[in-house]
Amino acid sequence: MTLTTRSQISNTFYQHKNYRAITLVRGSLVSLIYNKTLHIDITAVDQSSSVTLMSADVERVGTGMRFIHEAWGSVLDISLAVYLLQRQLGVASVAPAVLFLSAIYPFPHPSFPLCVS
């Protein structure tokens, strides 16, 4: 079995477990929101607001959970890659490390509206 095949099998197993957890959390959240709407006074809110909560917010939680492990996993991968590169190239491995750090930390620039200068 080649390394690529093992990697694909591992990735498939990870995605299956991740989507399974997302489905469990999504079902739990929908159930909690539904039970909460059963106990709310009908004159306090209209029925469409609870449907909006269930569809929009639960989907956002699911989307966030899909990529939660990618954040720390990517940092670990890049750190290991820079370490291995440093063992082979020495000081020349500083350039990829600086590129990586500049990509994860946006520098303030007037044309970039999300950064405050």
For the chain, give every domain's residue range.
1-66, 70-117
Query: What is d(CA 97, CA 101) in angstroms, rounded to the nearest whole number?
Result: 6
For residue 15, the one-letter residue type is: Q
| Separation of alpha carbons 56 and 104, rounded Å | 28
CA-to-CA distance for 78 and 115, rounded, in angstroms?
24
Q: Could you read off the pLDDT of 60-84 as tens digits, one per residue?
A: 888 888 888 777 777 788 888 888 8
Element (H, E) at 20: helix 3-38
- Given the structure tokens 């989307």, which residue do they identify? 63
Residue type, 84: L
pTM score of the predicted model: 0.60
Query: How crowded is residue 102: how many other Cβ atoms within 10 Å of its Cβ?
Result: 10
pLDDT tens per residue, range 3-48: 789 888 988 998 899 899 999 999 998 888 888 777 777 666 665 5
